[in-house]
Amino acid sequence: MWESEGTKIEEVGHYDCAIVLGGMASWDNSNERLSIRRGGDRIWQAINLYHLGKVDRILISGQNGYLFENGLDEANQFKEVMIENGIPEEHILVESISKNTHENAVESKKVIDAYPEIESVLLVTSALHMPRSKACFEKAGFSHFDCFTTDHYTGPERGYTLSQYLLPNSSNVSDWENLIHEWIGYLSYWIAGYV
């Protein structure tokens, strides 16, 4: 019930820019490369939307949310990945200052305002993260934007297998942890005046 509803790709209109929120990778210091987490569906879907002609540009927002340096410079590192995957550098915008969702919204607004030709925006993030993200972007002054949610945990129609009914799954505990994290995050942001 907390997740924002998804949109089928064919129902997505055309946008001048998709804003993709960070928090989808960690840095593998041993192998010196990005390691995608569950939220990596955000970048995958954005790249797909670009190649389908649904978005003209992609803005990657977020440096990393860690307190101490660990090699992750998410926005810039994903920019390199997107270039390697056929997206021209001039179609990629980077906001590499923000460390949380509130800052994603504030700093993304500054970047978008520097491009007056960008009139239509599509916010791309995880379905579980979208309620807080949407509220932050509205508070930051984005007057009109649409949302595209990714990596859904649930949905109106799900195809369950027999094993899911019979076998316990420890991931349910971490799934609840993610939901509680979003609830506490939203409440904290409300108290701080970010939403």
**What structural domains does the chain harbor?**
9-192 (3.40.50.620)
Write phi, then psi, for 150 (nearest 5 degrees).
-130, 175
Sign of CA dihedral 91, 82, 6, 137: negative
Q: Where are the beta strands (DSSP E) in 62-160?
A: 92-95, 121-126, 146-150
Q: What is the pLDDT of residue 14?
A: 97
Give me the pLDDT at residue 164, please. Answer: 66
- Enter the pTM of the model: 0.83
pLDDT computed for residue 3 by the predictor: 76
Residues of the chain below pLDDT 70: 64-71, 155-160, 164-165, 168, 172-173
* Predicted pLDDT of residue 28: 79
CB count within 10 Å of CB 26 equals 16
Nearest to 25 by CA among 41, 47, 48: 41
> What pLDDT score does 35 carry?
78
The pLDDT of residue 27 is 77
Name residue 122's beta-bridge partners.
Answer: 18, 146
